[in-house]
Amino acid sequence: MKNFLNIDNQSELYCSKVICVARNYAAHAAELNNEIPAEPVFFIKPNSSLSANGHRIFLPGYSQSIHHEVELAVVIGREGKKISIEKAEDYILGYAVAIDLTARDIQNKLKEKSHPWEKAKAFDQSCPISTVKLKKDIGSVADLPIRLSVNHEMRQNSRTGLMINKIPKLIANASEIFTLCEGDVILTGTPEGVGIVSSKDIIEAEIEGIAKLNLEVN
């Protein structure tokens, strides 16, 4: 259901916002010829961007270049503001695999004019997300395989250990800007291998030990 997360196939949790971080894997920054920022750079997707596992995704008609970006999603378990790095993991409810769908052609045009990215990043269904697995049922997520394939062709194949800014720092820095609410999602960045998705494509994403995400593009 829109605006809600599936928690361990047992309950639903309202999500008020999706907080995304840009350029958090060096190889992805390099493939797009982007500099790596000194501190995390955040942007927001509305909760209307959420789409559940198994749903069909409808691409916006104003873009000819929608890219997939597979990401580890962190789900916040309680409200917090100005959270310290040392306490950050206490605010995590669980983890999921998500895809940051991006209208790359639109994003590039917006960046050229120094305009915000919402049209390229925040459209409906631009954040497909799997069932959330509770933190208590997972070991460390510090270095897990993260993969995405399109029509059974591997496109992205990396490890979460290659994140530049680790999860505690992302939570701490994000909470300096936003009040983090129960159910909020933090996307932690994508590795290299992003590429175009088209109508009738089958997308499969996985983070080993956490979840799988399967989508059909319309």
What pLDDT score does 127 carry? Answer: 98
Question: What predicted TM-score, i.e. pTM, was given to this entire model?
Answer: 0.96
Tens digits of residue pLDDT in 79-109: 999 999 999 999 999 999 999 999 999 999 9
SS3 17: strand
Class of domain 4-217: alpha beta
Per-residue DSSP letter, 80: B
pLDDT of 218 higher than 90? no
**Every domain of the chain and the residues it spans:** 4-217
What pLDDT score does 179 carry? Answer: 99
In the chain, which ranges are E strands?
4-7, 11-14, 17-22, 41-46, 50-52, 56-57, 66-68, 70-76, 92-99, 102-103, 127-129, 133-134, 145-150, 153-159, 185-187, 195-196, 202-207, 211-217
Which helix or strand (DSSP H or E) is residue 172 part of? helix 167-177
Tens digits of residue pLDDT in 38-70: 899 999 999 999 999 998 999 999 999 999 999
Tens digits of residue pLDDT in 137-194: 999 999 999 999 999 999 999 999 999 999 999 999 999 999 999 999 999 999 999 9
Q: Does 29 or 203 have the greater pLDDT score? A: 203
Which helix or strand (DSSP H or E) is residue 105 part of? helix 104-112
What pLDDT score does 36 carry? Answer: 87
Q: What is the DSSP string of 106-141?
A: HHHHHHHTT--SHHHH-STT-EEE-PBEEGGG----
pLDDT of 129 higher than 70? yes
Tens digits of residue pLDDT in 137-149: 999 999 999 999 9
Tens digits of residue pLDDT in 4-35: 999 998 999 999 999 999 999 998 988 888 88
What pLDDT score does 113 carry? Answer: 95
